[in-house]
Structure 1
Amino acid sequence: MTVSRKEDNMAPQKSTTPPGSVASGKNSVASSLSEVSLPELGDSKSRSSSQAASYVLGSSNPGTSMSGSLAETPTGSVRADSALSTSVTRSASPRCGSPAYFWRGIGDEQEIIFVKPLDPRFECALCKKILRYPSIMECGHHCCCGCMQELMRTEPRCPIDQAKVEKANFTTDRNLQKEIETLFVRCSFVSAGCTWTGYLKELQMHTEVCKYRSVVCPNECGANFEQRFLEGHLKSDCPRRVVHCEYCQDPIKLDELEAHFSDCRRFKIECTNCGTADIPREELQKHLDTECPEEMAKCSFFEAGCPFESKRKDLKAHITENLELHVDMVVMALQTCSDALEIHDAILERQSDRLIDVENQAAVLNKIHGYQMLWKIDNYANKMQEAEEGISVAIESPIFWLSRDGYRIQLSACLNGDGKAAGEYMSLYVSIVRGEYDALLKWPFSLPLTISLLDHNKNPSKRKDHHQVLRPNACVENMPFLKRPTSSRNPAFGLVRFIRLDKFKEFEYVKNDTLFVKVQADPKGILKL
């Protein structure tokens, strides 16, 4: 089949191929299409986009999904999701002077208008409609693949020549299917003004974007119009279009705007007391509480004891007439407040003292981490100078617990050394302090204590902490130090030569005028109560 290049009259030439035969390579659709000029096809842009799409009508792969197309289907099956899976019937088309067909889908009806009169060989021998997935019978006639299934349920004979049909002897005519796919059609909305012309396989894709197709308003207002008018309808005509409230600027559907005004927070209303207009609804209460002259209000000196109450507009006269009385009330109120403040100050001072005690106790408790205490010695330079001058030889740590409900101990440090170690060593001592649970503890005290001076080096891997272990020797001579305390605390015992003072120059034990001493007990020796 060849197509001559004519603008107005494009009648097809008679085919020399007998019914049921396969077109040769020279007479194939592909060779015929090479003779078709682009102007004859109309909208070349739509055609090129259709060719680039994933559906290619007449594909040799029956398993390929071709949404919106006349896809290849194997013999004996029907693709229900194809665009041409719905029936196509013929009717007169006075507008174009050629046969018109209707493409009936679910819930819609689309007319197919062919550019040239439809060749009868493209009609199904059974349903007399355009062949859909054409199957060729032994006698050479064609019918739709779906019609062939219906035919095989009854007496399987060709409806034209009554030739018997064997199921195993009919096949899909793929070349004829390609010819049907490449029939030239006009847009179904040509009467509305669309000038598109293209292949039948491109019609569905074009219809989806055609600006002359009929659409329903997406806002569900019920309007039905051409696609090209949709934008204007949504902007200015649709009664359900979204607009912004002129008062609160919230987006509201136009048909719901009047109902929105009944509870809009910024809608202007009138005060029912004084008649003041243009008050935003959300500010009405503020107007009544502070501004409305007709609203009942208390005297400005109510807190001072004045019980007067009237409309706000009358308060000014009342205050002016009773100025002296109001001053007396204020003086009395101030005196009462002064007396109350003195009482509160006294209470606050007592509470402050109690708070300081609690903070001190909390500070001690916060230093307990398992079986250890970290003692921070700040203002080191001054304390070292006082030790060297003999003003304050020893300093003491907070009292801490070695375990919950366990031993209470306290450290003391002689920063410049004690006795014969003075000026060469730093000395550290431990005192056992009387506690609430001493009666339940094991005596004499025998827990080994590891005492450490911590290095401040910024690199943890380079720190060289100084450690010494203090192991109490529970002999008779040491009982005064290790026995259960009978007074507030026992005498101190410890490490006279804890660390040489010249070591402070080699390591960063003092930084920012601060050093840290850590004491840790061996948890294995802690008695669990």
Structure 2
Amino acid sequence: MRQATWVCAESSCFPARTGARTGRRFAGRICRNTSTTHAPDRRSSARSGTADVNTQVSLRVFSLPQCKRKHMDKHIKEDPIVHLGMACDTVILHRRELELHAKTLEKHLQQITVLERKVDTLEKLYGCQLVWKIEGWEDKVHEAKLGRKATLFSPPFLTSRHGYKMALSLCPYGDGKARGKFLSIFVCICKGEYDPLLLWPFRHRVTFTLIDQCQDPDARRNISYNIQPNTIKDNKPFLGRPVGERNASFGAQKFVELPVLDTFDYKRDDQIFIKHITKYNSDDASTIHRHCHAPCSTFGCNCNKDKQSLSQLLIS
């Protein structure tokens, strides 16, 4: 006959409880093979001759035959309060664990949100400052024709790690006199975190590019439009340091003729791509170096000192 090991539930699984009818401690045993609770053998307890038979039983390890399923109902009916207490303890324990897991999950979600924000910022620091993907182009053009949504806005972006904060706006069906004839695009300078450290008014060349989505990069015919800001007094609302959330927009009212969008692969899979680049003037004192991401004149850049320190470190 197959043998099974029995362990007293009082000593290893749940605290001793007092039975409602007998007034004695319940020294049940749990089968490790079937997870079934069994009452102690009354006959063996009577022959022990000790003062506290149940306590002795609870400290022993038995090797008895596996409990038969037909005895289960009788065993549960003998002391239902103990079983209900065990069930309540288990439910309370699981509830506490679930609350702990919920708090941990919420903390992880907050950390993921912060990391996504950091990754999104880092992606904008290398190469061009923005590649704007506009999906559902035909629907957006139709809404612009009806005047429901004449202007689309890009997410804000930085021209460099500690640079100017900007945002693009696009009129799919044109703006002003160019309405119905040209695609109009504009850029505005937004209020940024590093504005006190930057050079004002804004004087760097801005380039808008409509990207040809041809699969062969060498065969692409991108369309670019360059703007060199004129830092006169009248342009201060456009180029000066923002006082509100953003300055007035400036750009190209006649960026690309609308019929041109249907040629080549400027529009593909009902989407277009607009690229923006701010090119810092090489003769400007605020040129931002790629390795330190800081304007030398404004930040007191230590580019040469950093190179010397690095050389000394490599030599040593």
> What range describes the TM-score normalised by the shorter chain of this pair?
0.5 to 0.7
Contact 2:29 2:37 in 1 (8 A): no
Closer/same/farther in 2, CA of residues 390 and 292 from structure 1, 3 Å limit? farther
Contact 1:292 1:312 in 2 (8 A): no
1:401 partner amino acid: L
**Runs of at least 4 residues of structure 1 off by over 3 A?**
294-299, 305-316, 318-324, 335-358, 523-526
Post-superposition offset of 1:398: 1.5
Closer/same/farther in 2, CA of residues 422 and 439 from structure 1, 3 Å limit? same
Secondary structure, counterpart of 1:293 in structure 2:
strand
Aligned to 1:452: 209
CA distance in 2, matches of 1:440, 1:352: 34
Aligned to 1:405: 162
1:498 aligns with 2:255: yes
Post-superposition offset of 1:497: 0.9
Tell me which of 169, 175, 187 is aligned to 1:430: 187
CA distance in 2, matches of 1:401, 1:473: 21
Contact 2:133 2:273 in 1 (8 A): yes
- Larger Cα-atom Rg: 1
CA distance in 1, matches of 2:110, 2:229: 39
2:141 partner amino acid: M
Aligned to 2:58: none
Post-superposition offset of 1:508: 0.9
Aligned to 2:274: 517
Aligned to 2:223: 466
Higher mean C-alpha deviation, range 493-502 or range 358-367 = 358-367
TM-score by length of 1: 0.40
2:267 partner amino acid: V
Q: Using CA pairs below 8 Å that are at least 6 residues apart, which structure has the higher relative contact order?
A: 2
Closer/same/farther in 2, CA of residues 333 and 484 from structure 1, 3 Å limit? same
CA distance in 1, matches of 2:124, 2:191: 19
Sequence identity of aligned pairs in percent?
Answer: 30
Aligned to 1:487: 244
Aligned to 1:293: 4
Aligned to 1:75: none
Contact 1:364 1:399 in 2 (8 A): no
Contact 2:130 2:276 in 1 (8 A): yes
Cα deviation code 1:488-518 (max 9, x no counterpart): 2211111111111100111211212221111
CA distance in 2, matches of 1:434, 1:494: 18
2:236 partner amino acid: M
Contact 2:28 2:37 in 1 (8 A): no
Contact 1:410 1:431 in 2 (8 A): yes
Aligned to 1:229: none
1:417 aligns with 2:174: yes
2:218 partner amino acid: S
CA distance in 2, matches of 1:513, 1:414: 16
Post-superposition offset of 1:339: 6.8
Tell me which of 83, 86, 101 is aligned to 1:329: 86
RMSD value, Cα: 3.3
Secondary structure, counterpart of 2:241 in structure 1:
coil
1:317 partner amino acid: H
Aligned to 1:317: 38
Secondary structure, counterpart of 1:406 in structure 2:
coil
Post-superposition offset of 1:363: 2.7
Tell me which of 142, 155, 169 is aligned to 1:385: 142
* Mapping 1:120-519, distance limit 5 Å: 293-294=4-5, 296=7, 302=13, 305=14, 312=31, 316-318=37-39, 320-321=75-76, 322-334=79-91, 337-338=94-95, 341=98, 345=102, 348=105, 352=109, 355-356=112-113, 358-360=115-117, 362-519=119-276
Post-superposition offset of 1:394: 1.2
Secondary structure, counterpart of 1:502 in structure 2:
helix
Which structure's residues are more often helix, by fraction? 2
1:488 partner amino acid: E
Secondary structure, counterpart of 2:4 in structure 1:
coil
Q: How many residues align?
A: 237
Post-superposition offset of 1:378: 1.6
CA distance in 1, matches of 2:200, 2:15: 74
Unaligned runs of 5+ in 2: 17-26, 40-71, 289-294, 300-316
Contact 1:371 1:522 in 2 (8 A): no
Post-superposition offset of 1:306: 5.3
Contact 2:141 2:172 in 1 (8 A): yes
1:293 partner amino acid: A
2:38 partner amino acid: A
Contact 2:152 2:170 in 1 (8 A): yes
Post-superposition offset of 1:475: 0.8
* Mapping 1:101-120, distance limit 5 Å: none
Cα deviation code 1:98-122 (max 9, x no counterpart): xxxxxxxxxxxxxxxxxxxxxxxxx
Higher mean C-alpha deviation, range 451-460 or range 321-330 = 321-330
Contact 1:295 1:312 in 2 (8 A): yes
CA distance in 2, matches of 1:368, 1:381: 31
Closer/same/farther in 2, CA of residues 444 and 376 from structure 1, 3 Å limit? same
